[in-house]
Chain A
Amino acid sequence: MWLIKMAWKNMWRNRSRTTITMAAIFFAVILSVIASSLKEGIFGNLVKNVVSFYTGYIQVHKKGFWDEQTLDNSFKSSPETEQLILDNKNVVMVASRLESFALASSVNITKGCLVAGIDPRKENMITSLEKKVIRGSYLKDTDYAVLLSQGLAERLKLTANDTVILIGQGYRGATAAGKYLVKGIVKFGSPDLNNRTLFMPLATAQNFYSADGMITSYVLSLNKTSHLQDIRSLLDGALGQAFEVMTWEEMIPEVKQHIQTDSSNMKYVQGILYLLICFGIFGTLLMMMVERRFEMGMLVSIGMKKSMLIVLLLYESVFTVFVGCLLGIIASIPLVYYLNRHPIRIGGETAKAYERFGFEAIFPASTEVWIFAYQGMVVLVIGLLLSLYPVYKVIRLDPVTAMKR
């Protein structure tokens, strides 16, 4: 106990030095927390944008569907299966889709397209499809009509209230053909989706493909999107061998790739930040050891065990680093929350580029607790590792040389 008191007094023997060290750690923690939570927030936002285009965070298919996306790999929609999925407390809603291909024709133009039979209400809750309608109106469950993506409509030279003819291959080799009212045009940021997608109510699609009661996928709406892998494993276990559960990371690996590349760039920035902290802390430790060399020689001379002296010095540096870290974390909480509520908005050309792809040009900060904890821990660990320097110096301390003037 007296050792702790002595360490505390030692910390303040050079007030400005300790304050500067603490301030350096304080700002380092704030900077790295903000950098980290912006990074997480931006990526989270990116993923949210991307998955809300079409895929959602998690989908359930019949096993093998993703590799061979045909109606032969569709399955019977059943309330029991839906219930199994909904039993996971993180799953809020399950939307069914029947997806396949067809040729879409207007008077004299024909284009291949992706036909998505959807539950209009649920689909809208997951992918906000209704918001993407730029002409005409959104679908109802019972409509015998379709929505055309804008690029596809342009190619077919069709607009709302025109008629489109679809020809394709139905379930188990049946011929699929039909004539549908174009109820609306939807615009997607992703060129891929914008150029080749067509939506119709699920029942209409099942009818078109002669696939009564069949669907190809469940798209899940989740409560929390942070522990995807856990949710996925749970669902995998619950649904068994017949189904495949896939996360957005598997369905759109390009985005995952992009995030990883950007993350590692960010790591360099943070690495430099940590390096600066290292130099800051190390500089003070170096100065302190020079300044107190004589005193430490004297302490060992009069009989203070080196181990005890080491503990004393460790208390001092751990206190300093810990207090700096703690204050940094405390101060960064309101800052990060502010950046979460009032995300950084960018304007001008960049914003337009973002919007063209259907992204909102905002950069919110993530307020996940682990970010604060993790960044605090990293700085703490750096501080502790650097505290090994005084330990090393004390182990090698020779009182006679130390006290020589």
Chain B
Amino acid sequence: MNTVIDAHNVSKVYNKETIPVYAVNNVHLHIERGEFTALVGPSGSGKTTLLNLIGGLDKPDNGSVFINELDITKLSTNELIDFRLKNIGFVFQSFNLIPVLTAKENVEFIMLLQHIKKSVRDARVQQLFRQIEMSDKMDARPAQLSGGQQQRVAVARALASRPKFVLADEPTANLDSKSAFNLLDIMAKLNKEEHITFLFSTHDQRVIERARRVITLVDGRIVSDTAAVSTRHEKADV
């Protein structure tokens, strides 16, 4: 019932004709609503590839990806675009924002794509900027914001359409540690207060420590998953 992401047997192979690279190799992944999960692993271990498969940006060579019980690998490219718009929030490593729009317009953009009416948009924008603690920077252009601030706006945009979950591929990779923690704090707060599901990849040990569940990938395979540990940890927290 509360399962948001359910990946079965997922594989992605590059260079099938020459020397095959198993970027993602037979992965099973199950994520419940409200989780705060980090995907870690060395460079080239398949984190980005896996996130792209879950986000419907890429199609697996094998296996299926269920989002809220819908197999998205069966959707056409165009259906996927619409599916992403309505169901998934994306935060990328950098250059998330449209440079010609203000921070506020960038967040509003997602809602414009969904034809949400102005009063609702305005209220949502106000609320989101309060949550990312940037109400005073709504009219700034991306170029006038720090890297950390830009990433916070990207998180706000990802949330604007009330997605089922947020995928973030190395959201802190380009940030200094203070901004990185700040971004993580905000994500953690949103997770706690609004039960927003986050799945993010990272290299950063200190960021990993903030995650409640850590999945480790090596050579496209899941080699460890702290699901059990993090559940205990969470209970202890409360």
Partner of A403, one of B92, B100, B113, B158: B92
Known: A399-B57, A400-B52. A302 touches B100 (CB 8 A): no
Number of interface residues, chain B, beta carbon within 8 A: 24
A298 touches B92 (CB 8 A): yes
Give the CA-CA distance A158 to B110 in the complex, in Å.
95
B57 touches A302 (CB 8 A): no
Q: Smallest distance from the beta carbon of A90 to chain B beta carbons, Å?
A: 55
Give per-residue flags for A291-308: 1 if the beta carbon is below 8 A from chain B beta carbons, else 0.
000110011111111101
Give per-residue flags for B97-109: 1 if the beta carbon is below 8 A from chain A beta carbons, else 0.
0111100000000
Partner of A304, one of B58, B81, B92, B100: B81
What residues of B have a CB within 8 angstroms of the CB of A301 in the complex? 55, 57, 84, 90, 92
Q: Is the CB of A131 closer than 8 A to any CB of chain B?
A: no
Give the CA-CA distance A9 to B90 in the complex, in Å.
24
A400 touches B100 (CB 8 A): no
Give the CA-CA distance A213 to B81 in the complex, in Å.
87
Give per-residue flags for B205-220: 1 if the beta carbon is below 8 A from chain A beta carbons, else 0.
0000000000000000
Give the CA-CA distance A246 to B89 in the complex, in Å.
76
A13 touches B110 (CB 8 A): no
A9 touches B84 (CB 8 A): no
What residues of A have a CB within 8 angstroms of the CB of B78 in the complex? 305-306
B99 touches A303 (CB 8 A): no
Known: A301-B57, A403-B92. A6 touches B100 (CB 8 A): yes
A308 touches B113 (CB 8 A): yes
What residues of B have a CB within 8 angstroms of the CB of A304 in the complex? 81, 85, 113
What residues of B have a CB within 8 angstroms of the CB of A306 in the complex? 78, 81
Give the CA-CA distance A88 to B86 in the complex, in Å.
69
Q: Smallest distance from the beta carbon of A296 to chain B beta carbons, Å?
A: 10
A294 touches B98 (CB 8 A): no
Q: Which residues in A have some Cβ–Cβ distance to B below 8 Å?
A: 2, 6, 9-10, 12-13, 294-295, 298-306, 308, 399-400, 403
30 contacts between A and B (CB under 8 A): A2-B112, A6-B101, A9-B100, A10-B100, A13-B99, A13-B100, A295-B95, A295-B98, A295-B99, A298-B92, A298-B95, A299-B98, A300-B81, A301-B57, A301-B84, A302-B84, A302-B90, A302-B110, A303-B82, A303-B110, A303-B113, A303-B161, A304-B81, A305-B78, A305-B81, A306-B81, A400-B52, A400-B57, A400-B58, A403-B92
